[in-house]
Structure 1
C-alpha cells in the first residue's frame, strides 16, 4: 500500500501546486510581490506551528543539525525560492510559459546538486533520458515563444532560474543533513523563519503594506496559497522528500503544469490544444522512464490483480 500512498500524495501535491499558479497570478494584482509571499507564509507558519504543537511531543528544534535543517528550509525552500520567483514574474517580459519552463528545470538542477552532495542519489541512463523527455513535454505544453525566452527581461528570467536553483539546492541539502527533526516541526519553523526573511527583503525593497488591495479575490488567493499550497502542500512535500529522495520528488515540477492546464480549462475556459495532448504524453513517457524499475516491478502485480478481479476472486 505504501507505493500507492506515495503515488496518491505525489499527484495531490502536483494538483495543489499546479493550480496554485492561478492563485499567484490573481494575488500579484493586489499585493507587492515579496510582501505577498511574506504574508502567505505568516499565515502558513502560524497554521503549521499550531499543528506541530498539537501532533509533536517537542515542537521546538533541538541541536545544531535540526536548526541547520530549519535554516536551509527557511532561506532556500521558502524565502529564496518565493522571493526570486515572485519578483521575476512581475516583469511583463516573463510570460507564464517562460517562467514555467525555467522552473521545470528544478529536477535537472536537483540531479546536478545530488551528484555533488549525495553520491547515492543517481539516475540511470534511462532515467536521465526520461528526465529530459519530461522537460521537452513541459516545453511543448507551455508553448513558449523562442523569441520571448531569449529576448528582453534577461534579469527577471535569471531571477526565476535562481529561484529554481534555490529550491533544488534546498531539497538536496535537507536530505544530506539527514536530521531526525519531525516533518511538522521542520515545516513550521522553516515557514516562520522564511516569512521573517521575506519581510526583511520586502522592507529592503521599499514595499509598503498600504499598497495591498483587499478584495474577495485577493483574500481567496492568499488563503488558498497559505493553507492548501503552503501548509498542506509542503507537509506532503517534506514527507515524500524523506521517502523518495530529492530527485524523484522534484519531478512534481513536471507534473504540476498538467494540473495547471487542467485547472485553466475547468475554471478559465482554456480549451486544451494538440500541444496540450502531446505535452501530457511526453511528460507521462518521461516519468515512466525515470520510474522504469518501479513500473517493471509493479506490472506483474497489476496483472495478477487483474486476473483475480475478472475471475471473481477477492
Structure 2
C-alpha cells in the first residue's frame, strides 16, 4: 500500500518554518502597539536607532555564544542592501510616516509591501506565482483595505505621510528580496545580526537625539523601545529569515497579511480600542487570505510525497514544465 504522507523530516521542517513565520507575524504585530507607546517620547530616528542598538546587542551576544562567525563574502551584498533598506531606512520612514497619517491610511499604504515583494520576487528571483498565492493576496489586501477604511480619520493625513509610508513599503519589499539570496550561503542568525548592525550604522546620525530624549523619556517608553529591539527585531527578524530560507519571498510576504488582524486584536486587549464590525470583517479577510495563500493544490501536495504518482494529464497537453 502506497504511503501518501510526507516523510517525517520534511513534515518537521515544514512545521518549524510555519512556526517561525507565526512567531514573526505575532511579534511584528505587537511592535505597532509598542511603537505607539514609545512614539510620544522618542522621535522617529531616535526610536529606530534605539531599537536597532538593542537588537544588535542581543543578536551579537547570541552570535558570540553560538560562535557563528562572519558571514561568507557572497552573502554580504544581500546583507548590506537589506540592512540599509529594511533595518535602517524602513524603520525611520515608517515611524515618521505614522506620525503624519492616521493608522488606517498607514495600514493601507504599507500593506502594498507584500504585493511588491511578489512582483520583485517573480522578476528578480524567479519566484513562482501560483493562482492560490495570487488569490490569497487579493483577499488579504481587501481585508487590509477594509481595516484601513474602518480606522481612517483617526489622527489626520498628509501627502508627506502617504509618501513616507509608500517609501517604507518599497524599502521593505526591496530588503526582503535582497535578503533571500544571502540566506543561500549564510545562516539566518548571521543575516539578521549583520543586517541589524548595518541598519544601526545607517541610523547613527540620530544618536544625539536618542541621548537627549532618553534622559527625559518615561521608563515605560524606554522599555517599549528595548522590547522592540529584543523581540520584534532580534527574535522576529531571525525567525523571519529562518522561514524565508525555506520558502519563497512571495509566500512569506503574503504571510505578513495576518499582522493587521493581530494588531486589531492586540489593540483591543492592551489599549482598550474596541474594533467595529467593519474592522473585524477586515481582520477575518486578512487571515482567510493568508490561509489561501499558504495552502497547496492537490497536485503540489502529491509532488512532495516520495513515490507518489503524478496527476494524470490530459492527452495532448503541452509540456510546459521548466
Q: TM-score, normalised by structure 2?
A: 0.82
> What do you get for the CA RMSD once the two structures are aligned?
2.5
Matches of residues 88-127 of structure 1 in structure 2 within 5 Å?
Answer: 88-91=97-100, 94-119=101-126, 121-127=127-133
In structure 2, what is the equivalent of residue 36 of structure 1?
Answer: 47
Give 1:102 deviation, angstroms. Answer: 1.2
* 2:217 equivalent to 1:214: yes
Higher share in helix? 1
* 2:197 equivalent to 1:192: yes
**Alpha-carbon distance change, 129 to 152 in structure 1, aligned in 2, over 3 angstroms:** same
Deviations 1:180-214 (A, max 9, x none): 112212211111121110123x37xx846323433
| Separation in 2, partners of 1:215, 1:147 | 28
In structure 2, stretches of 5+ residues that fail to align are 1-11, 302-322
Q: How many residues align?
A: 290
1:60 equivalent among 53, 56, 70 = 70
1:174 equivalent among 172, 179, 188 = 179
| Separation in 1, partners of 2:13, 2:183 | 21
| Separation in 1, partners of 2:121, 2:75 | 20
Matches of residues 112-261 of structure 1 in structure 2 within 5 Å?
Answer: 112-119=119-126, 121-144=127-150, 152-177=157-182, 179-200=184-205, 202=206, 207=209, 209-212=211-214, 213-261=216-264
Task: Check whether the contact 1:49–1:185 (CA below 8 A) recurs between aligned residues.
Answer: no
| Separation in 1, partners of 2:258, 2:32 | 13
Task: Check whether the contact 2:184–2:245 (CA below 8 A) recurs between aligned residues.
Answer: no
**Alpha-carbon distance change, 224 to 252 in structure 1, aligned in 2, over 3 angstroms:** farther
Q: Which runs of 4+ in 1 moved over 4 A?
A: 144-149, 294-298
In structure 1, stretches of 5+ residues that fail to align are 299-314
Deviations 1:36-69 (A, max 9, x none): 1011111110110111121134x22342x22212
| Separation in 1, partners of 2:167, 2:134 | 22
| Separation in 1, partners of 2:148, 2:250 | 22
| Separation in 2, partners of 1:232, 1:55 | 15
| Separation in 2, partners of 1:198, 1:6 | 31
